[in-house]
Structure 1
Amino acid sequence: MSLARVSTASGEEFAGRVLPVRTELREVLPWPGLRRGATIALRGSTSLLFAVLASATAEGSWAAVVGLPGLSVLAAAEAGIAVQRLALVPRPGTQLGEVVAALADGIDLVAFTGTATLGTAQVRKLSARVRQRGTVLLPLGPWPSADVHLRCANTRWHGTGAGDGHLTHREVDIHATGRGSAARPRSVRVCLPG
């Protein structure tokens, strides 16, 4: 996979260091995409996970989702994820940390749930491993050392009439906080799915 050279306003280059992400999400991230080696904690919506994964997988990156046995592959495809590049580990059992670490060795983006089952030492080891390997870690829930925390709020559904019709999409506010270059809180309103 070849990544285009991308520059920030300050001129700092991230050549080969970021994976693509939806334009709206770039507004809340401190980088021009998903920075390799970063940890981005996601809360509030599986649709947010899909929005984060869609552009990267469509451009050739591989992703894995661990610990979500009810994840719909059809919904993932409808959200724009290239499901032929999506690995699913529905039930990692008691080996969550080991499974995520193994996937981080060869997959571009690794999302997982069950963050509360990991100890402090495992959290530190996983964070160090993804920085070394250039993987984007996407814990679905609280993660104390995350570079960025994204959460959905203020959902508004669209598509229904006066008691009839089908839900077509929803608008959500995505709020971002973090540390370092992500310390300034940011928000954006997006439609999910895209």
Structure 2
Amino acid sequence: MSRPAPLAGVSTASSDDVAGRVLPVNPHLREVLPWPGLRRGTTIAVGSMSLLFALLAPVTAAGGWAAVVGVPELSVLAAAEAGVAVERMPLVPRPGIELATVVAALVDGVDLVAFTAPRSLSRAEQRTLTARARQRGAVLLPLGPWPSADVALRCTSGRWLGLDAGHGHLVEREVEIHASGRGAAARPRSTRVRLPGPGGPLAPVTGAEGARRLGVVRNGCA
């Protein structure tokens, strides 16, 4: 599989964009990233499935490809509701002991490669995958801790919105997204968003009035 052409819809505000080295990202996540999008060749550790979908959605919607490896519990319906173009999301649910080999092969031709980061992967295998993504211009998205990640994203303080005096449906969840990392991402950043927002995809917090109008149920970030 050959590397897809630079994606449409990427801002040309910087030299990185012009060179096609930045992939699109939800504008409400730019506050926690050190680049105007997802920079090709980087590794971003992701702390939850909802965050992963928020990263995959803009890239696949713009015509890019995103593979997910070793996540048999992934719900394709939930991904679609979060805005992911699932027809551009190949899945390898159970790669077994070949996980590192499968990820390395996909990095050669897919824009984003997400995968469970098992403890069984050695540090040498981790370094090899990170280096391969950097060389091939893919974005590596390990689900879980990754020692050499350029950026680590996690979300906390989740609360579901939508119940009114014990009635109604849970329709939105307000969370705080935290980012840390190295180099340009060394300074910790955070932002508050709705994940999912109305209809599914990530959306900005609508303000105090919305929180007063909607009932609140506290929960974690899945």
**Category of TM-score, reference length = shorter chain:** over 0.9
Correspondence for 1:124: 127
Match of 2:42 among 34, 38, 45: 38
Percent identical: 67
Structure 1 position 5, deviation (Å): 5.5
Match of 1:157 among 152, 155, 160: 160
Instruction: Indicate if the aligned counterparts of 1:115 and 1:142 stay in contact, CA closer than 8 A.
Output: no
Q: Deviations over 1:173-194 (max 9, x none)?
A: 0000000000010000111122
Correspondence for 1:29: 33
TM-score of the two chains, using structure 1 as the length reference: 0.94
Instruction: Indicate if the aligned counterparts of 1:64 and 1:111 stay in contact, CA closer than 8 A.
Output: yes
TM-score of the two chains, using structure 2 as the length reference: 0.82
Q: 2:61 aligned with 1:58, yes or no?
A: yes
Structure 1 position 13, deviation (Å): 3.5
Q: Deviations over 1:48-97 (max 9, x none)?
A: 11001100110011001111111111111110001110011111111111
Match of 1:177 among 174, 177, 180: 180
Is there any run of 5+ residues in structure 2 with no aligned partner, and where?
197-201, 203-222
What SS is found at the alignment partner of 1:51?
helix
Correspondence for 1:91: 94
Aligned residues: 190
Taking the aligned partners of 1:33 and 1:111, their CA distance within structure 2 comes to: 17
Amino acid at match of 2:13: S
Amino acid at match of 1:6: T
RMSD: 1.3
Structure 1 position 162, deviation (Å): 2.3
Taking the aligned partners of 1:168 and 1:61, their CA distance within structure 2 comes to: 28
Q: Deviations over 1:108-134 (max 9, x none)?
A: 000011332210110110011000100
Q: Deviations over 1:12-64 (max 9, x none)?
A: 54420010010011110000000000000011x21111001100110011001
What SS is found at the alignment partner of 2:72?
coil
Q: 2:23 aligned with 1:19, yes or no?
A: yes
- Taking the TM superposition and a 5 Å limit, the aligned residue runs for 1:105-144 are 105-144=108-147
Correspondence for 2:12: 6
